[in-house]
């Protein structure tokens, strides 16, 4: 079978550090070329990964070598996703795109309809569902380790000086729009019939235009409410997903890809308390033993290797992709994101506070 030729659109940090290495590790895949608005960046990336082609252009028209590609990976800023995906599908290429689809609700379904009409695959990068921690969590739930799931909560703390791209504050709700998808698809993988119920956010205290200082979101499922607490002006960066069940609770440390479990502490006696501490220490230590080196060296793929493998397999075997990267699931998550963002913008509190924070430097990624 001929190798599948993959073109990358966007030569930013995520593409260079997550997407390209994931595809480069696969057999029967050729890194065919890269397109970026900046010629030097595209040229250097192509040279580093021994790609035969590169281009600095804002559309695919006139790129002769693009016609020979089989698939495209879109990693540009979200405001450009729609047009790159649309052009690639019209050119007859399968597409794997970073989330979210676009910044406009109508774009998601329109792109999926176009892909189906052209008999092409349109897949979305929901990478955290393929991390070690989240795959193991779903196994625990399937085996009944947590008992019946009774609740889920999200805690996001973000330091505004974190290594981030320069475009994020131009999005609707700024950084929230780009990062909330991670928690929406995680929640959707653990419960059913997820829908927005209530949301509010507060204006930035460090001079950002769209990114809020804090936000609070309530979702409903068929079984329980879900609570999201988001802080974009925190002193540390921590992302945690906590799942409660009738037999115990689990916590996903997203950044370190570590999963912890604590059994029910019953009457919360001293013995129960020490068992909780012991469980946290053990699971954290064992988790860090498995992911720590990759985390500290910056080589933790956060599920991207599995996604690249799934995408290529569905093209090779002419089969539908796994549910969690499918276009259908992607549109569902994107529509939910749009629901939440509309609710947040409607309930944005613009009250000023006496405590003001320094403006972060944008574009450090």
Quick one: pLDDT at residue 217? 98
What is the number of H-type helices and E-type strands within the chain?
A: 10, 14
Residue 343: pLDDT band by 50, 70, 90 thresholds? very high
Read off the tokens for 205: 């205290």
Q: Is 72 helix (H, G, I), strand (E, B) or coil?
A: strand
268 sits in the region (left: phi over 0; alpha: psi -120 to 50; else beta) called left
Read off the tokens for 65: 């070598």
Quick one: pLDDT at residue 350? 83
Read off the tokens for 325: 């990267």
Encode 17-35: b = buried (16+ Cβ within 10 Å), e = exposed: bbbbbbbeebeebbbbbbb
Tally the residues of the chain: 365
In the chain, % of residues over pLDDT 70:
99
* Nearest one of 195, 162, 194, 191 to 179, comparing CA atoms: 162
Mean pLDDT calculated for residue range 303-308: 97
Mean pLDDT calculated for residue range 25-53: 96
Structure confidence by residue, pLDDT tens digits, 57-109: 878 888 999 999 999 999 999 999 999 999 999 999 999 999 999 999 999 99
DSSP 281-296: HHHHHHHHHHHHHHHH
- Residue 363 reports pLDDT greater than 80: no
Quick one: pLDDT at residue 96? 98
Task: Report the alpha-carbon distance of residue 203 to residue 187 in Å, rounded.
Answer: 26
Mean pLDDT calculated for residue range 325-332: 98
List, in order, residues 6 or more apart from 176 with CB less than 8 Å away.
201, 211, 212, 215, 230, 232, 341, 344
Task: Report the alpha-carbon distance of residue 253 to residue 88 in Å, rounded.
Answer: 36
Quick one: pLDDT at residue 357? 84
Which residues on neighbouring strands pair with residue 96, listed in sequence order? 73, 123
- Ordered by where they begin, the domains of the chain are 4-120 (3.40.50.720), 129-300+339-349 (3.30.360.10)
Task: Report the alpha-carbon distance of residue 41 to residue 131 in Å, rounded.
Answer: 29
- Residue 306 reports pLDDT greater than 90: yes
Are the C-beta atoms of residues 303 and 182 closer than 8 Å to each other?
A: no
- Residue 125 reports pLDDT greater than 90: yes
Of the listed ranges 115-129, 253-267, 310-324, 347-361, the one predicted with least confidence: 347-361
Task: For residue 302, give the DSSP letter.
Answer: T
Residue 358: pLDDT band by 50, 70, 90 thresholds? confident
Q: Quick count: other Cβ atoms within 10 Å of Cβ 14? A: 18
Are the C-beta atoms of residues 351 and 202 closer than 8 Å to each other?
A: yes
In the chain, % of residues over pLDDT 90:
83
Mean pLDDT calculated for residue range 203-227: 96
Mean pLDDT calculated for residue range 194-218: 96
Sheet holding 258-263, edge to edge: 258-263, 248-253, 238-245, 149-157, 225-231, 214-220, 195-202, 348-349
Quick one: pLDDT at residue 297? 84
Quick one: pLDDT at residue 240? 98
Structure confidence by residue, pLDDT tens digits, 251-300: 999 999 999 999 998 888 888 888 888 988 998 999 889 898 888 888 88
Are the C-beta atoms of residues 152 and 190 closer than 8 Å to each other?
A: yes
Which residues on neighbouring strands pair with residue 227, listed in sequence order? 153, 218
- pTM of the entire predicted model: 0.94
């Amino acid at each position: 079978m001929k190798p599948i030729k993959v073109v990358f659109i966007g030569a930013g940090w995520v593409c260079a550090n997550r997407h390209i290495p994931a595809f480069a590790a696969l057999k029967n895949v050729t890194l065919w070329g890269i397109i970026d608005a900046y010629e030097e960046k595209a040229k250097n990336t192509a040279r580093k990964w021994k790609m035969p082609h590169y281009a600095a252009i804002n559309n695919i028209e006139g790129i002769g070598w693009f016609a020979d590609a089989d698939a495209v990976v879109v990693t540009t800023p979200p405001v450009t996703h729609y047009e790159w995906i649309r052009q690639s599908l019209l050119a007859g290429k399968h597409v794997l795109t970073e989330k979210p689809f676009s910044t406009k609700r109508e774009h998601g379904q329109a792109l999926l309809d176009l892909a189906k009409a052209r008999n092409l695959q349109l897949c979305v990068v929901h990478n955290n569902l393929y991390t070690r921690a989240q795959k193991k969590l779903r196994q625990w739930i399937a085996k009944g380790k947590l008992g019946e799931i009774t609740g889920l909560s999200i805690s996001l703390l973000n330091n505004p000086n974190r290594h981030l791209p320069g475009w994020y504050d131009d999005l609707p709700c700024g950084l929230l729009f780009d990062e909330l998808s991670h928690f929406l698809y995680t929640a959707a993988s653990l419960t059913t019939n997820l829908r927005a119920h209530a949301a509010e956010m507060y204006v930035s205290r460090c001079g950002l235009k769209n990114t809020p200082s804090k936000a609070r979101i309530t979702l409903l499922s068929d079984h329980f409410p879900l609570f999201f607490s988001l802080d974009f002006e925190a002193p540390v960066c921590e992302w945690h997903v906590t799942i409660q069940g009738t037999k115990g609770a689990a916590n996903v440390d997203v950044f370190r890809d570590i999963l912890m479990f604590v059994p029910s502490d019953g009457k919360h006696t001293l013995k129960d308390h020490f068992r909780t501490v012991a469980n946290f220490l053990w699971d954290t230590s064992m988790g860090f033993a498995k992911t720590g080196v990759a985390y500290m060296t910056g080589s933790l793929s956060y599920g991207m290797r599995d996604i690249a493998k799934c995408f290529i397999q569905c093209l090779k075997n002419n089969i539908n992709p796994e549910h969690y990267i499918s276009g259908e699931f992607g549109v569902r998550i994107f529509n939910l994101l749009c629901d939440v963002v509309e609710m947040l913008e409607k309930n944005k509190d613009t009250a000023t506070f006496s405590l003001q924070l320094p403006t972060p430097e944008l574009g450090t990624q």
